[in-house]
Amino acid sequence: MLQKDWIVDNPDGSQLTYQFAFVNVTGGDPSPASSTDPNNPPAIQIGEDPVVVLVVYVPVEGPGIAPANDSGATIDAFDESTNLLVDDDFVIAYAPPGQTTTKDAEQTTSGNVSGWVDTWSTGETIAAYPRISEYTNNPSPDFDKWVNLLPSSEGVTIGGTDNADLTVSIKTSAYALAFYKNNAPPLVIEHVPPHLTQALYGPDGQLLAPGDKPGAPLQEQRPQGAGPEGV
């Protein structure tokens, strides 16, 4: 069980309340594993790999949280497999909300560049990419789900194909992350032919990095679609 709320005292005497948003765990089995329920964190089996537990809280009450004359969705893409935010385009914004044919070019750019989709003048439907195709990792992670970091907020819904559409009503604010997960199985070399042993391992027995000498035959071990660095 995880703590649901944190209350932080500010130097000026005011208080800021943080609410549990999600927990994501990597390095166990299964990996990654996430939950938005503080009473039901992921259950994993621990093996030899390091286990990383990321617990996220967001501010929900306190000075400066809700601007008086503006509203919008604060968004970003989150890679469950690495516990990191993804710096790449991942959404298309549509206005009016509830449809995915009339693109809002200005808010699409704002959402991808600044992580902000304005809803002061109109509501928006924010559609997540099924895959972040330009992501530096190879293969690219697939869309998993939207996580509404403030599930108690009204005027915010998740739906559409594969629940990839985040709809935020006019004059409504939201905090949300599009979760992506790398579903590709890890490359496992069960048997190394003798003629490749020297290409894979150096004289000290350490696995050679791609490009090390000797290393040309290592390209034969790359998974289909791997980049020039073999990852």
Q: φ, ψ for residue 194 (rounded to 5)?
A: -55, -35
The span from the CA of 23 to the CA of 35, in Å, is 5
Q: φ, ψ for residue 109 (rounded to 5)?
A: -65, -45
Average pLDDT over residues 100-120: 96
Is the per-residue pLDDT at 40 higher than 90?
A: yes
Q: Which residue has the tokens 């704002």?
A: 110
Q: Which of 43-47, 133-137, 227-231 has the lowest mean pLDDT?
A: 227-231
b/e map 26-35, b = 16+ CB within 10 Å: bbbeebbbbb
pLDDT class of 1 with cuts at 50, 70, 90: confident
- Number of H helices and E strands in the chain, helices first, is 2, 13
Is the per-residue pLDDT at 60 higher than 50?
A: yes
pLDDT class of 70 with cuts at 50, 70, 90: confident
Q: pLDDT, tens digit, for every residue of 84-101?
A: 998 889 999 999 999 999
CA distances from 67 to 70, 72, 90, 120, 131 (A): 6, 10, 26, 11, 33
Handedness of CA 11, 12, 15, 16 (dihedral sign): negative
**What is the pTM (predicted TM-score) of this model?**
0.74
The span from the CA of 210 to the CA of 38, in Å, is 42
What is the domain partition of the chain in residue ranges? 1-65, 69-188
pLDDT class of 68 with cuts at 50, 70, 90: low
Is the per-residue pLDDT at 62 higher than 50?
A: yes
What's residue 185's pLDDT?
A: 53
Q: pLDDT, tens digit, for every residue of 5-37?
A: 888 898 988 888 899 999 999 999 999 999 999
The span from the CA of 155 to the CA of 164, in Å, is 17
The better pLDDT of the pair 64, 116 is held by 116
Residue type, 208: L
Q: φ, ψ for residue 112 (rounded to 5)?
A: -80, -35
Residue 129 has what DSSP assignment? P
> CB 108: neighbour CB atoms within 10 A?
20
